[in-house]
Amino acid sequence: MRVFACPHCAHVVQFESTSCVNCGTALAYDPVARTIARADGGAGAPCANALVAACNWLAPAPGALCASCRFTRTRPADGDAAGLAGFALVEGAKRRLLFELSELELPLARWDERDGGLGFDLLSSAYEPVVTGHADGIVTIDLAEADPVHRERLRVQLGEPYRTLLGHLRHEVGHWYQTVLVAPGSEREEACRRLFGDERADYQAAMSRHYAEGPPAGWREQFVSAYATMHPWEDWAETFAHYLHVNDALQTAAAWGVRVSGPPSAVTSAEPLQSDPADAERGGDLSERLEAWIPLTLALNAVNRSMGVEDLYPFVLGPAVQRKLTFVDQLVRAGTPRGVHN
């Protein structure tokens, strides 16, 4: 995430800000200019979901939905107070997701623009079972995930080191981008299968095996997470989500001037520990960004431990995982294949 400033007084404001704490100017996010603007500056009108979803994005006209909210196909009813509370939190995470996708210049097409376009069903499992997942462009999120107690209980139950709303969204949208960036019958598809495995493998059988037996021994050498071991589709989605984690966090570090050079005693191969996280914003290749990423995560984990909490970054990126991340990076940089999902 970039650092934003109040357009009136230049004081630092947040991506979610609706007013400047320094001068009181009413603010909104302009998705066309991708910056924080004056809410009354004429660039648009408040989103129709400004109250119900705490949305601070500008819409093209009064009473209209903003570019982010238009991606949502289904939401809780107006009388569902509990569901709407979770809805607002998920929408906040979705706005961050869509900002990053725009920053990466990834293709985006909505569910109401074409068949197979991206959409979000944000549903409450308080009334009927809801399975978080992706199918034919539609990402379904169980709004119970917005409850930190519920989410933490599942995280521990499933043995996951990391479980967040933004993480869910990045993973599920990763499934959609596999259909966008890896065209059937293409060279990309063959390369994808060589790295991630054959996605034609029986998914239900793979899922049953995963939950009965757990990940295989030594999985950390090949996969970014235990869940990624279940099926090639999940390996891709977990890797794609991780790619978004790395890019967003490095952009944030660069924007705030955070640079980690590493403890002097640790410098045996100096290059990785002296890389600049700003490389990520300047468009360096993935190897350069990982050279900045790894020492940054070590420092952040050390700070967390100093506060008596668990590691902020509980992952290990072995050579095989880095190759998968590099493949995703190459596809993102190359863009959409001609004639596919334009």
pLDDT confidence bin for 279, thresholds 50/70/90:
very low
- The H or E element containing residue 204 is helix 203-213
Q: How confident is the model at residue 267, as a pLDDT?
A: 36
When pLDDT is cut at 50, 70 and 90, the band that residue 251 belongs to is very high
Question: What pLDDT shows up at residue 232?
Answer: 98
- The least confident of 18-32, 108-122, 280-294 is 280-294
Classify the C-alpha dihedral 4-17-32-53 as positive or negative: positive
| Contact predicate 183/189, CB 8 Å | yes
- Whole-number Å distance between alpha carbons of 296 and 277: 8
CA distance 212 to 233: 19
Burial of 340 per CB tally in 10 Å (0-12, 13-18, 19+): middle
Per-residue pLDDT band for 287 (boundaries 50, 70, 90) equals confident
Q: In sequence order, what are the residues at sequence separation of 6 or more whose Cβ sits closer than 8 angstroms to the Cβ of residue 16?
A: 54, 56, 92, 95
140-170 residue pLDDT tens = 999 999 999 999 999 988 888 899 999 999 9
Over range 26-48, report the average pLDDT. 95
pLDDT value at residue 213: 94
* Average pLDDT in the chain: 90
| Model pLDDT, residue 337 | 58
- Report the largest interatomic distance among the alpha carbons of the chain, rounded to a whole angstrom: 61
Q: Which two tokens stand for residue 285?
A: 């290749």
What is the Rg, in whole angstroms, of the alpha carbon atoms belonging to the chain? 21
CA dihedral 298, 317, 326, 95 (to 10 degrees): -60
Higher pLDDT pick, 65 / 270:
65
pLDDT of residue 159: 85
pLDDT at 299: 93
What pLDDT score does 281 carry? 47
Q: Looking at the predicted structure, is the pLDDT value of residue 208 above 80?
A: yes
Q: What pLDDT band is residue 135 in, cutting at 50, 70 and 90? A: very high
Percent of the chain scored above 90 by pLDDT? Answer: 82
Pick from 145, 142, 137: nearest CA to 173: 137
